[in-house]
Amino acid sequence: MSMQDPIADMLTRIRNGQFASKISVIMPSSKLKVKISILLKEEGYIKDFSVNSTNKPILEIFLKYFRSKPVIENITRVSSPSLRIYARNNKLPQVMSGLGIVIISTSQGVLTDQVARKKGLGGEIICNVS
């Protein structure tokens, strides 16, 4: 059985891992998942991540907690394979009035909403993180 939406699976594993107070979560790796992990680390939502390439590449994300509570309060998928959601640079949504981030796939790679606005880019809205 093939996975229909690997990004939604990644976000669900992160959400469930934090709900269960796990130290890390493991999932199959892809280029897009690694790029999303880089953004989550740069923005301070996860501690770290690693990619192990034995037979199949595996992505391990180390979750971050503050005072025993997960740093990521909410992480939701916006665009899905069956319903792609695109936004222009002047129509990019804000999460919690700018306190959260929106991860966007643009022509210049995967970016946060703040960086995309500065560069004047729009694209497919992958997910919201707060």
May I ask the CATH class of domain 6-70? alpha beta
Radius of gyration of the chain (CA): 15
| Helix, coil or strand: residue 80 | strand
**Rounded-to-integer distance, Cα 115 and Cα 22, Å:** 31
Tokens of 71: 């740093």
Return the CATH number of the domain spanning residue range 75-129: 3.30.1490.10
Burial class of residue 120 in the structure, from the number of CB atoms within 10 Å of its CB (0-12 exposed, 13-18 middle, 19+ buried)? exposed
Query: 82 and 70 in contact (C-beta within 8 Å)?
Result: no
User: Residue 85 above 60 pLDDT?
Assistant: yes
Q: What pTM did the predictor assign?
A: 0.95
The ranges assigned to domains in the chain are: 6-70, 75-129
pLDDT tens for residues 103-118?
999 999 999 999 999 9
User: Residue 1 above 50 pLDDT?
Assistant: no
Q: Could you tell me the pLDDT band of residue 54, with boundaries at 50, 70 and 90? A: confident
Q: Could you tell me the pLDDT band of residue 4, with boundaries at 50, 70 and 90? A: very high
